[in-house]
Amino acid sequence: MSALILTSVLGVVLLYFGLFGNKKLLAPVGIVGLVAALVLSWTGWNPGIMEFPTMVEFDRMSVLFNCAMIVVTILIFLFGIDYYERMEENVAEHYALMIFSLTGAFLLTSYTNLLMLFLGIEILSIPLYILAGGKKRSYRSSEASFKYFLLGSFATAFFLMGIALIYGVTASFDLHVIQAKLATGASSNVLFLLGSFFVAIGLSFKVAAVPFHFWSPDVYEGAPTLVTAFMATVVKTAAFAGFYRFVQMTGLPPALANTLLVMTVLTLLVGNVVALRQSQFKRLMAYSSIAHSGFLLMAILANGVMTPNTLFYYTFTYALATVGLFVVLTLAKRAANGNEAITIFRGLFRANPWLAFVTMLLLLSLAGIPLTAGFIAKYQVFMLAIGAGFIKTAVFAVVMALVGIYYYVLVIREAFTPAEETPVLVVSPLNWLVITLCGISVVAFAVWPLNLVG
């Protein structure tokens, strides 16, 4: 709980620092605050102890997800020191909004009340609507912000309707009370099923699951790259933690399970197949993110004892690989005068062999190739699904994972293909540090103990 309060105050402090116009202090102050929040989260590990009864519960799962999101945000802030060097205005607002969004993410991982779930999603989302339009003079960025806000508003309406219907059946927002009511047979109530379905729609929008994924490619493409990295990592991690808590506390009625099964299959299919046709890297990463949502939905669908462990490991290792790739994209984009096509990676090996090697590791991890954390993550999901009886779905997911290898290999091929003119990459020490940490992590986590949460 102390970390939640600290991040709330930290966002306000960063806004005040922005008044003095010294943007060089913003990232260091933010990083120091995040490190303090990380320490408070870890030392405040009190499994099963509620800080606010019927509202939030900072158990082992919540603490670990929060720590993972803080670590990823610190990496993004380190990246931001160089990224915002060329930006003169509104830098403090960007940092503060990301901190506020992170505060909402904390609520998503720890809520025990549907109202707190709603507050968490809104606190997470509203700063992102603004951040997506962070490039004020870019029509593409403004379009991304508008689309995200408009579709997010529709998703919120469904979400609130679902909460209202669940309350109408159970007469409570407290998930523990709802759980007790469901044990008496309320789970078969049509209104409860409809309410659960609507809540699932709201959560599916945040994780970009098909058919609620249409915002993702345009927002990823139009938003500033650093904001896209934050959305693809911290937001996805928080959304899946929140999705799992809802399923865990309210159960998974057969009707909702069948709906999630169809969504999982469609998300895997659309994400991987459409990604094959992408020539722009941000859109490729958007459809890749959709595909990874399909694997994570399969873990939620299995809803086993090891599900929280699998979700934590998958989202954290995915986030590390994604942050590193977006840093590399930024460097290559600068060398290519703003171009974001996959071809900007051509000649990367000749320009900077270490950067090309780490990029290959990050892409191989996302593809799920052995000896990387991505392989272990997918293996865990497949074993979880098979253990829960979803054998056909697991087989289909394996096929989609094989399809996904192709579009990652395309980028690797570009990185190791000589270019007519070797790109001139300017890599700051901090960017080099972030990329190196991400590259080493996706290998080191392949042998990390896998029983942190479960």
Nearest to 82 by CA among 433, 362, 359, 351: 433
| Residue indicated by tokens 């699904």 | 385
Give the C-alpha separation, 300 to 248, whole Å.
Answer: 9
pLDDT tens-digit readout, 163-195: 999 998 888 888 888 888 877 776 678 888 899
Supply the pLDDT for residue 7. 87
Of the listed ranges 124-133, 135-144, 225-234, 288-297, the least confidently predicted one is 135-144
pLDDT above 70 (res 210): yes
pTM value? 0.92
DSSP code string of 47-67: TT--SBTTTB---HHHHHHHH
Count other C-beta atoms under 10 Å from residue 36's C-beta. Answer: 16
Q: What is the pLDDT of residues 357-367, one digit of tens each?
A: 999 999 999 99
Please say if the pLDDT value at position 454 is more than 50.
no
Q: Which amino acid is at 262?
A: V
CA 93 vs CA 24, 77, 223, 247, 254: distances in Å: 14, 13, 15, 35, 45
> Nearest 10 degrees: CA dihedral of 303, 304, 307, 309?
160
Position 232 pLDDT exceeds 50: yes
pLDDT in tens, 314-330: 999 999 999 999 999 99
| pLDDT tens digits for range 144-168 | 899 899 988 888 999 999 999 999 8
Query: Do the beta carbons of residue 10 and residue 92 sit within 8 Å?
Result: no
If pLDDT is split at 50, 70 and 90, which confidence band does 1 have?
low
Residue 452 has pLDDT above 80, yes or no: no
**Nearest-angstrom CA–CA distance, 235 and 68:** 12
- Binned at pLDDT 50, 70 and 90, residue 442 comes out as very high
Tell whether the model's pLDDT for residue 295 goes beyond 90. Answer: yes
Nearest to 271 by CA among 295, 287, 294, 293: 287
SS3 content of the chain, % helix, strand, coil (to 5): 80, 0, 20
Omega of the bond prior to 449 within 30 degrees of 0, cis? no
